[in-house]
Amino acid sequence: MKDDCAPKDDFDLAVIGAGSAGFSAAITAAEGGKRIALIGHGTIGGTCVNVGCVPSKTMIRAAEAVHGAQSAHRFPGLKGEAQVADWAALVAAKDDLVSTLRQKKYVDLLPGYDGVTYLDEGPARLVEGGVEIGGRKITAPKVIVATGGRPAVPDIPGTPDVPTLDSTSLLELERLPESLIFLGGGYIGVELAQMMARMGTCVTIVCRSRLLPRIEPEVSEALAKVLRAEGLTILDGVTYDAARRDGDRAVLTVTVDGTVRDLTADHLVLTTGRAPNTEGLGLAEMGIETDRRGAIKVGDDMATTRPGIYAAGDVTDRDQFVYMAAYGAKLAARNAVLGGSERYDNAAMPWVVFTDPQVAGVGLTEQQARTAGHDVKTSLLALENVPRALAARDTRGLIKLVADARTDRLLGGVIMAPEGADSVQTLAMALKASMTTKALGETIFPYLTTVEGLKLAAQTFDKDVAKLSCCAG
């Protein structure tokens, strides 16, 4: 409850940013009986609900519906057709969903926490003893910075002069474009590129290395094959030379295998990463260190290099996922004002790329495991060996597991499958429980499920699962 005798601008904790991280920190502290100033930074709700996870995933599902009808012929005797009949109506439905969730999961929550005072009076700046906002001093002995991030703009000559989009403005287009060039092969780029291609747009992806460069190379190669089969053009290992405008269109000049090429499209879509929102916060003046991207450096306790100031979410040098932002913010609040001594732990953190097939993983890649000094063994299972995939007549994908050869303990894995996102948590729990490949392979799994592929992949370390009868393992 609020203390009516307390000074109006005096709080136990100030939280800058009202997205998933900011709300997580504020709610955690409020549940501990503290008084919190939750200071708005951008639209309430932050990236995920407004311009990130929610709008992109509903549009991706819509594109999957189109593709699902068009690919019905994989079953003998079926034929299906689908296309975008009203792009504007699809975008409007997306906007309605965003507005509904923003209201329900953010705005409507505030009255339920008496300890939280929401302030949205202009840009916030860190000062001695608290935060300054709109010329007003908010006094708080502890502060959590959770200002999030935004799409990064690549340093390519000519880019400011050509028609460009980012992951936000792409989903706000009033008309479906005829052609797009996506810069970057990270998870945002591949998700949105496949979605737009399925909507009927001619799509080219250009990237400096390969698709999803931080994951297993077998998966990167398999995903590129899937996307090319759907008609996307993928140019990897390119150098971005320059961009220029040609009438209403964008021209990107790249070098591929030593050859200079001009690529033309309605827009360039800038999906080359994200930048932290740190401008104007006064970080340098407060002695808060940042990395080369400008992200705030935090320790495992989520503390910055300035005592009393913590940070969480996309503004930091930690994992750029909404659930990890909320998790880190909860730790920050507990450590800042609730006497906690908790440490950030992402050893069993699952991640998902919402392409189709989905790509999901947890733990170490093979290369990371070797770098960490493990004697590594791996198993690689094509979906042709998973009964669920055969029954669905969709064997696009694979499963790779990484383990310590000496102890047999699982170290990590990745699932590329149409239902991989809903299967990876089983692998995350296996890693959290320090399971061995033998234990996972002997665990009972339901038949004709995608997650059964994990059992088969674990058995692949020691046997040829193609020689097993159904459920015999």
The domain locations on the chain are 13-45+106-151+275-337, 159-272, 351-467
User: Which CATH number does 159-272 carry?
Assistant: 3.50.50.60
Same fold, 13-45+106-151+275-337 and 159-272: yes
Return the SS3 of 324: helix
Q: Using alpha carbons, select from 406, 405, 389 the residue that is nearest to residue 450.
A: 389
Chain centre to alpha carbon of residue 402:
23
Average pLDDT, the chain: 96
Give me the pLDDT at residue 78, please: 97
Q: Is 184 annotated among the ligand-binding residues?
A: yes
CATH number of the structural domain 13-45+106-151+275-337: 3.50.50.60
**pLDDT tens digit string along 237-260?**
999 999 999 999 999 999 999 999
**Would you state the structure tokens that stand for residue 411, as one six-digit string?**
């170290």
57 is in an annotated binding site: yes
pLDDT in tens, 294-348: 999 999 999 999 999 999 999 999 999 999 999 999 999 999 999 999 999 999 9
CATH number belonging to domain 351-467? 3.30.390.30
Collapsed DSSP state (helix, strand, coil) of residue 237: coil
Question: Per residue in 129-175, pLDDT tens?
Answer: 999 998 899 999 999 999 999 999 999 999 999 999 999 999 999 99
Exposure b/e, 382-392, CB count within 10 A at least 16 = b? bbebbbbbeeb
Radius of gyration of the chain (CA): 24
pLDDT in tens, 100-137: 999 999 999 999 999 999 999 889 999 999 999 988 99
pLDDT in tens, 448-469: 999 999 999 999 999 988 888 7
Rounded to whole angstroms, the Cα distance separating 283 from 143 reads 12
What integer pLDDT is reported at residue 469 of this predicted model? 76
**Does 187 show up as a binding residue in the annotation?**
yes
188 annotated as a binding-site residue: yes
Residue 22 in tokens: 């900011």
191 annotated to a ligand binding site: yes
Does residue 190 have a known ligand-binding role? yes
Contacts of 296 (CB under 8 A, 6+ apart): 145, 276, 278, 283, 288, 289, 290, 304, 311, 315, 316, 317
Entry pTM: 0.95
Asked whether the predicted pLDDT for residue 471 surpasses 80, the reply is no
Is 33 marked within a binding site?
A: no
**Sign of the C-alpha dihedral computed for residues 212, 218, 219 and 225 taken in this order:** positive
Whether omega for the bond prior to residue 151 falls within 30 degrees of 0, making it cis, is no
Q: Is the pLDDT of residue 14 over 90?
A: yes
